Amino acid sequence: MIRNHQDLERLREQGHKSLWPDRGKIVVGTASCGLAAGSRAVARKLDQAAREYELDQEVSGTGCLGFCSQEPLVEVRRADGLRVVYPQVDEARAEELAAGLAQGDLSPELAMCRWREASHPTTRYELAAEEIPLQQQIGFYRRQQRVVLRNCGLIDPGSVAEYVSCGGYSGLLATLSTDPENIVETVSRAGLRGRGGAGFPTGRKWGFTRQEPGTRKCVICNADEGDPGAYMDRSILEGDPHAVIEGMAIGAYAIGADEGYIYVRAEYPLAVQRIQEALDQAEELGLLGEGILGSDFSFRLQVKTGAGAFVCGEETALIASIEGRRGMPRPRPPFPAQSGLWGRPTNVNNVETWANVPPILSRGAEWFAETGTSGSSGTKVFSLVGKIKNSGLVEVPMGITIRELVYEVGGGTPDGGRCKAVQTGGPSGGCIPESLFDTPIDFDSLREVGAMMGSGGLVVLGESACMVDMARYFLKFTQGESCGQCPGCRLGTKRMLEILIRITEGRGQEEDLLLLEELATGVREASLCGLGRTAPNPVLTTLRYFKHEYETHVRDRRCPAGVCRALVVYHIDPERCLGCGACRAACPQGAISGEPKKPHTIDPQRCVRCGSCIEACLVEAVKPG
């Protein structure tokens, strides 16, 4: 049991030893993205090789280092603070790495970067490491500032001791001897705004729930991260679950809540498992439950698993879902702060917001507010994905421009081609064209250009993306996820989707564009919750910035990007075609014919435009047009 500062200090020492063991350790990224890239097999191989080569280092797992496109990532760590990270480690490379380590060789040619200046530059290890660039020297990490992701990829998420050794639970300890009112005031002064999308000031929100009468109050962590293209919440829960627990305990103390729920979406089984394990540990150590850390503050926390409904990310729908009902939003007021879960005053924040709380308490509001802009302080985690070279989770100060994020951190498109737009904020956000890439990323600037921060998904779109198709994609999503209770959303999104399908199938009319805009306004104004109110954003922004693409679809019956199947005819460039027959073999329709070593042709009548031939072609001779 941890009851006081001394107990916490003992746990910290224990954690330090396991984080930086004298013999060093080999750490494998085993968050969902690492696992999908095959890190389970790599960890197994490393474990086996470590025994074979009689290496001192043990092999253990950690969360996400952020550079997901380089997964599986493996790190070799030494007691003196040197961390060397290796990208794209497959089983063969793991073997090679282990063989090198057995000889005292860090295999610098395989390394991506080292994480910190070595403190003793005399040993053979550090000399070998000097060739390896420092983390802040490589583009992907140079602009990053890891506050929320501070422990992801460093600690073993299953070890509370390692979390404590990185300063964990010291914020909670300090909180418990402070007046709750002061905690609310500190969070307000830090300028923390909700990271779930709307950007509401967190301190004010806490204050509302605190002021409400009632002896039983709740805090909820919204981990129903539904925006396709955003996955920072998953990564935090998988890589640093105690940060969320500590943040919630601090919030509960400030608000006067005695119970809490973490609502995780069903699609994140590993996150559910890790947060549950962390909860059990915290309870065992007296960091949750009755009389936390020797104080008279009690707080119980439970995990609830979602059942697959995007709309449950809306706070009143989420509450209904925990209560065991259909996840349908209800009108506000009463706000959850007044009448939330079972009528109790309830405060809902998302994962990233809660994870920001412990450092504010342990390092101070002023420290937090130093980063970012005046209206949006702190950092924000983005998932930088799509047509981008360095894709992954990046944490940057608020106020960085889209251009800096895409080109400096992201390294531009993989083929060096033009980047057409970024899509931010998922189905509630919009597409921002390249001409507006100098817009700073903060809550207010993004809203001004018609998009929104959302939870931080940032999908980069290249020339091969069709903006009408993007609008159709998001509308199909929101239409399918609409809970159906208000006609504006239920019928409006359906009609809008029908029009978009018509346009992408080459049956669009000129007046459809006007009708789309009119419907968009109607849906926005007549919907009850955020899902419906923001559903038109992807359509409105693409209409605003990419009207010419809609016009080409409607007037010329052509899809310039070659995405909308009904408007595309595939052909094979006879200049490029080698006549290898790969496309002919791949075609499920038998639509391709040609003599070996002579240019092939596609029969447009039989072609279903599935794209198999494009994927199969070795010389990019098949083109949609």
Partner 1 sequence: MVEALRSEARLFRDLPAEHEATLIPSLQQLQKEYGYLPPDELQRVAAELGIPHSRVHGVASFYSQFTDTPRGKHTVQVCLGTACHVGGGKGIRDALTQVLGIRPGETTPDGAITLEEVHCLGCCSLAPVIVVDGVAYGRNDRKKALHTLLECCDQESPGS
Kindly list the residues in this chain that would bind partner 1 in the complex (CB under 8 A): 32-33, 35-37, 68-69, 71, 225-231, 234-235, 266-269, 304-310, 321-327, 330, 333-334, 338-339, 342-343, 383, 385-387, 391-392, 423, 426, 457, 459, 461, 465, 473, 477, 483, 588, 610-612, 615
Distance (Å, rounded) from C-alpha 269 to C-alpha 285? 25
Q: How far is the CB of 380 from partner 1 (least distance, A)?
A: 17
Q: How far is the CB of 266 from partner 1 (least distance, A)?
A: 5
Q: How far is the CB of 106 from partner 1 (least distance, A)?
A: 26
Residue 249 · residue 207 · CB < 8 Å? no
Residue 101 · residue 53 · CB < 8 Å? yes
Q: How far is the CB of 406 from partner 1 (least distance, A)?
A: 15
Strand partners, 377: 372
Q: Which CB atom, from 25 or from 387, has the smaller least distance to partner 1?
A: 387
Q: How far is the CB of 272 from partner 1 (least distance, A)?
A: 11
Q: Is 28 exposed, middle or buried (0-12, 13-18, 19+ CB in 10 A)?
A: buried
Q: Is 514 exposed, middle or buried (0-12, 13-18, 19+ CB in 10 A)?
A: exposed
Q: How far is the CB of 92 from partner 1 (least distance, A)?
A: 17
Pairing verdict, β 58-62 and 83-86: unpaired
Q: Which CB atom, from 249 or from 461, has the smaller least distance to partner 1?
A: 461
Q: Is 225 exposed, middle or buried (0-12, 13-18, 19+ CB in 10 A)?
A: buried
Q: Which CB atom, from 167 or from 611, has the smaller least distance to partner 1?
A: 611
Amino acid present at 305: T
Q: Which CB atom, from 266 or from 515, has the smaller least distance to partner 1?
A: 266
Pairing verdict, β 218-223 and 419-424: unpaired
Q: How far is the CB of 320 from partner 1 (least distance, A)?
A: 9
Q: Which of helix, strand or coil describes residue 431? A: strand
Let me know how long the chain is: 625
Q: Which CB atom, from 323 or from 498, has the smaller least distance to partner 1?
A: 323
Q: Which CB atom, from 285 or from 328, has the smaller least distance to partner 1?
A: 328
Amino acid present at 550: Y
Q: What are phi and psi of 347, to 5 degrees?
A: -115, 125
Residue 573 · residue 594 · CB < 8 Å? no
Q: Which of helix, strand or coil describes residue 221? A: strand
Q: Is 156 exposed, middle or buried (0-12, 13-18, 19+ CB in 10 A)?
A: buried
Strand partners, 440: 401
Q: How far is the CB of 70 from partner 1 (least distance, A)?
A: 9
Q: How far is the CB of 610 from partner 1 (least distance, A)?
A: 6
Q: Which CB atom, from 362 or from 612, has the smaller least distance to partner 1?
A: 612
Q: Which CB atom, from 121 or from 269, has the smaller least distance to partner 1?
A: 269
Distance (Å, rounded) from C-alpha 597 to C-alpha 580? 6
Q: Which CB atom, from 603 or from 615, has the smaller least distance to partner 1?
A: 615
